[in-house]
Amino acid sequence: MTQQDAAFLEDWEIHSGFGAVPGTLGVDRQAATAADGAQRRWFAALLESRGFTVHRDAIGNQFGLLELVPGAPYVVTGSHMDSQPTAGRFDGAYGVMAAAHACIRVAEALRADPAPARCNLAVVNWFNEEGSRFKPSMMGSSVFTGKLDLETALATTDPHGVTVREALDGLGERGELTGLDVASYAEIHVQQGRSMEEDGVTIGLVNATWAAHKFEFRITGEQAHSGSTLMADRRDALLGAARLVVAARELVDAFEPGALHTACGELNVYPNSPVVVASEVQLLLDLRSPSAEVLGAAHAALMQVVERVRREDRVEIEIVAEYSWGQNPYPEDGVALAREVAEELGLTHDRVLTVAGHDSTNMKDTAPTVMLFVPSVDGVSHNLKEYTRDEDLLDGVRQLTGVVRRLAEGALVA
C-alpha cells in the first residue's frame, strides 16, 4: 500500500468515529447536530493542517481552498458529511474525504510541475444533503446554486422547532464566503444499489438520474372515539393513508421488474392516540423510474387510487407539495473524461444511472460536472450495515484524483 493510500485510510478511520453508533459500523450524524459539529471542527482542522484555508458560506457549506493559480476559478469537489438518523459511514462522507485527499494529491503534483495548472482547488462539505432533520434534502447545494432561497432555508425548522439558522449558529458553522468562482465540479459517492458489484465494475460513470415524482399528501378525516364510533360514521385519515402506502407498493407489479420504484418513508399521524380515530396524516410518497413513460403511467394510476380512497373512505386528500423531474442527464463530456481516467488507471468502469439525487444533481446545472460511483456491498444503503471495501475506496480516490487533476488543468472548461 502506498503512503498516500495509508494516509487516506487513516483519516477515513478517524472520521468514521464521529457519531458512531456503538456495536455497529454505522453512524448517526444528522445535519447540524452535535455529531455534525464535531466532524466539521475536526475536518476544518485537518484541512488547515494540509494547507487549505477553510471558509463557510451563509448556509453552512464548508469549503477548504487551495490556491495554485492566483485569481483563477476553482475546481470544486466534495459531497456531504451529514447522515440519516441511523446510517452507513460511507454515504456522502466518503465523497468529502476522497475529495480532500484528491485535492492534496493534485496540489502536490501541480506544485511540483506548475505549468499545466489552470484552476485552484476547493473541497466542499455540503450542508444537509440528507434532509432527514431539515427538509428539503440537498439544502446546502440548492442554496449555493440559487435553487433555494437562503432565508427560506435558514427559517426551516426541525421537528422540535429549531431553525436551520439556530442550529448552525449554535455550532458556529455559518460564515461569510460568497461568490466562489466555480470552474467545474466533481463528486464521488458509494453506489446505492448492487448493479456495479454484480457486474464487477469498480468505477461507475454516472450518466443520468432516474426520473421521479414525489408527493407530500395530507389526508384529513375526523377525530372520533376509536371504540364507540360506528364504523359507518368514521372518516379515518390513517386508513386513507394506509391505502395509499399499499397502493404505492402494488403499482410496481404493473411494470417490468426494476422499471418502477415506489416508497413511503415518512408518515405522521395526528393525534396518534390509542383510542382516537386519526384526523390528519401527513404522508410522503415517491415514484421513481428510468422511463418517463412508466412514471407517467404510475402517476395516473396513483391518482385513480387517490380518487377512490377519497370517495370510499370519505377522507380529504390534498397534495401539499409535489416535485417531479424527468430523466436528468449528466453532461456527456464529463462521462467521457471520467472514462479516460479509468482506462488510464486500468480500473473497470461502466455507465450507471443513479436513482438517488446527489449534490452534483444541483451543481451539474451550473458547472461542468463529473459524477462517479464506487461499489457498495449488496447495495445496502441508509442502513448501519452499509459497507464498501477498502480497495474500492482507494481506487475511487485514485479515480477522483485523476479527474480533479484534469479539471485543474482546464478540462471541460470552454
Which residues 231-250 are close enough to bind a copy of itself by CB under 8 A? 231-233, 236, 238-239, 241-243, 245-246, 249
- The answer to the question of residue 226 lying near a copy of itself (CB under 8 A) is yes
Q: Which of 53, 152, 268, 304 binds a copy of itself (CB under 8 A)?
A: 268
- The answer to the question of residue 252 lying near a copy of itself (CB under 8 A) is yes
Q: Which of 67, 166, 222, 316 binds a copy of itself (CB under 8 A)?
A: 222
Distance of closest approach, residue 232 Cβ to a copy of itself, in angstroms: 7
Q: Which of 272, 304, 329, 333 binds a copy of itself (CB under 8 A)?
A: 272
Q: Which of 384, 400, 404, 407 binds a copy of itself (CB under 8 A)?
A: 384
- The answer to the question of residue 130 lying near a copy of itself (CB under 8 A) is yes
Instruction: Identify the residue whose cell numbers are 469537489.
Output: 77
Enumerate residues 284-303 that contact a copy of itself by CB under 8 A. Answer: 284, 286, 288
Buried b (16+ CB within 10 A) or exposed e, 367-400: bbbbbbbbbbeebbbbbbebbbeeebbbbbbbbb
Enumerate residues 189-218 that contact a copy of itself by CB under 8 A. Answer: 191-194, 210, 212, 214
Distance of closest approach, residue 384 Cβ to a copy of itself, in angstroms: 7
Measure the CA–CA gap between 8 and 392, rounded to whole angstroms: 12
Distance of closest approach, residue 20 Cβ to a copy of itself, in angstroms: 16
Extract the runs of DSSP E, i.e. beta strands, from 278-368.
280-289, 316-325, 328-329, 349-354
By three-state DSSP, how is residue 193 classified? coil
| CA 157 to centroid of chain Cα atoms | 19
- The DSSP code for 16 is T
- The answer to the question of residue 379 lying near a copy of itself (CB under 8 A) is yes
Q: Closest CB to a copy of itself among 47 and 153?
A: 153
Measure the CA–CA gap between 106 and 410, rounded to whole angstroms: 13
Q: Closest CB to a copy of itself among 116 and 265?
A: 265
- The answer to the question of residue 263 lying near a copy of itself (CB under 8 A) is yes
Q: Which of 32, 96, 264, 374 binds a copy of itself (CB under 8 A)?
A: 264
Q: Closest CB to a copy of itself among 48 and 198?
A: 198
Distance of closest approach, residue 246 Cβ to a copy of itself, in angstroms: 5
| Cell representation of residue 34 | 452535535
Site string for a copy of itself, 342-361 (x = CB under 8 A): ------------xxxx----
Alpha helix stretches (DSSP H) within 50-199: 93-112, 139-144, 150-155, 164-171, 195-199
Distance of closest approach, residue 372 Cβ to a copy of itself, in angstroms: 16
CB 251 within 8 A of CB 190: no
Q: Which of 233, 246, 318 is nearest to 280 (CA)?
A: 318
Enumerate residues 35-94 that contact a copy of itself by CB under 8 A. Answer: 84-87
CB 31 within 8 A of CB 154: no
Measure the CA–CA gap between 158 and 169, rounded to whole angstroms: 15
| Cell representation of residue 356 | 438517488
Q: Per the omega criterion (within 30 degrees of 0), is the bond before 271 cis? A: yes
Measure the CA–CA gap between 354 and 351, rounded to whole angstroms: 10
